[in-house]
Amino acid sequence: MPGKKINVAVAGATGAVGNQMISCLEEADFPVQSIKLLASARSVGRKLRFKGDLFAVEELKENSFKGMDIALFSAGGGTSERYAPHAANDGCVVVDNSSAWRMDPDVPLVVPEVNPHAIAQYTKKGIIANPNCSTIQLVVALNPIHKKYGIQRVVVSTYQAVSGTGKKAIDELFDQTRALINFLNCENKVYPHRIAFNCLPHIDTFMPNGYTKEEIKMVNETRKILEDDTIGVTATTVRVPVFHSHSESVNVETKDPISAQEVRSLLENTPGIKVVDDPENNLYPLATEAAGQDLTLVGRIRDDDSIANGINMWIVADNIRKGAATNAVQIARVLADNYL
Ligand code: A2P
């Protein structure tokens, strides 16, 4: 029912994504009746601003969600696993940014431009999952291509910003860079190797098959959101010394004949996408351009002449905004307007 005011809780409010969630609620002029900002006991005493007013951070507890309508969670998988069921039991719908619930068959995994209809399934557990940041920007671009040409296989390599790991990783890249340009030694605390002036082909933990969990998330989540388990997806995920925005090199093979020219105009007419593809003028998607806004930028769209029906493209989006906070707030908006 559009017009209803919502009591909103943000769990993980002091973190990189939680903080952005608060800003996104503000920017989207979300119909907030009341807001509750939750984090660990360490943050009690801190105050955060929402729409000009300061709100005290409260400790996240099992009974934090009584009287709340929607809770946006970004406080890590373990925290979501433990507290989301309590929120749901108290009638507060959880939009969870962690990977804890994404592949649960009773939990919808939603990108509002792609599968908004899945939100209706929230009634099964009272939880809606926000996909992995790299998956969100990928499926925003893949969805119109899949609908028109039928995707056979996707090969994706990511170039992921440190902000996806949280505040500590942002500090680590900053501190290491400053140390190295001053010829000082630096410490590796967050990542197993130096991230400054380096690329780490290692995001999340390794699985017995040699892939990382991040890579497997991209495979499984892409299929779940596009609602097609026959799509072949293979991923290599790499952390790079960039603060904001993930970039992706994507090769798509389709069942039907496809051309770069057609894909360019298809994506130009897709909500949520901005095509930036004018190489003659050095225009292509850049992490620095994507940062701070909500569109998924797509460029370098070109035919893959090595296969019958294939294209290559370069996809960039702000991982903390569209890859996390914005997508969660967009889900909450559909929920508030249509279901609560
Ligand atoms: P806190 O700041 O009190 O530690 P990031 O991913 O940027 O590191 O942020 C993680 C967020 O999740 C922070 O808001 C953090 O709160 C919160 N958080 C982490 N562990 C817990 C927990 N056990 N209970 C509640 N909040 C947590």
- Ligand 1 centre distance from Cα of residue 60 (Å): 9
SS3 155: strand
| Mean confidence (pLDDT) of the chain | 97
Q: Tokens 């962690």 appear where?
A: 98
Q: Tokens 């903390």 appear where?
A: 320
- Confidence at 95, pLDDT banded by 50, 70, 90: very high
Query: What are the pocket residues of ligand 1 if the criterion is a CB atom closer than 6 Å to any ligand atom?
Result: 12-16, 18, 39-40, 42-43, 60, 75-76, 79, 166-168
What are the DSSP calls for 253-285, one per residue? EESS---HHHHHHHHHTSTTEEE--BGGGTB--
29 vs 37: CA distance, rounded Å: 17
What are the DSSP calls for 183-236, one per residue? T-----SSSSS--TT--BS--SPBPTTS-BHHHHHHHHHHHHHHT-TT-EEEEE
Q: Which of 133, 193, 199, 202 is labelled catalytic? A: 133
Residue nearest to atom 21 of ligand 1 (CA): 40
Each residue of 218-267: pLDDT tens digit?
Answer: 999 999 999 999 999 999 999 999 999 999 999 999 999 999 999 999 99
> How many alpha carbons lie under 13 Å from residue 125 in its C-beta half-sphere?
19
Residue nearest to atom 6 of ligand 1 (CA): 166
- Confidence at 297, pLDDT banded by 50, 70, 90: very high
Decide which of 69 and 2 is more confident: 69
Residue nearest to atom 9 of ligand 1 (CA): 15
300 vs 89: CA distance, rounded Å: 47
Over residues 309-328, mean pLDDT: 98
Q: Is 186 annotated in the active site?
A: no
Over residues 186-214, mean pLDDT: 97
Q: Which atom of ligand 1 is nearest to the CA of 14?
A: 14
Q: Is 246 annotated in the active site?
A: yes
Instruction: For ligand 1, pick from 19, 20, 37, 40 the residue to mutate: most ligand atoms within 8 Å of CB.
Output: 40
- Confidence at 1, pLDDT banded by 50, 70, 90: low
- Ligand 1 centre distance from Cα of residue 92 (Å): 20
Residue nearest to atom 12 of ligand 1 (CA): 75
DSSP code of residue 175: H
Each residue of 5-53: pLDDT tens digit?
Answer: 999 999 999 999 999 999 999 999 999 999 999 999 999 999 999 999 9
Over residues 71-89, mean pLDDT: 97
For residue 4, the model assigns a pLDDT of: 87
- Ligand 1 centre distance from Cα of residue 94 (Å): 17
Over residues 269-282, mean pLDDT: 98
What are the DSSP calls for 52-89, one per residue? TEEEE-EE--TTTTTT-SEEEE-S-HHHHHHHHHHHHH
For residue 50, the model assigns a pLDDT of: 97
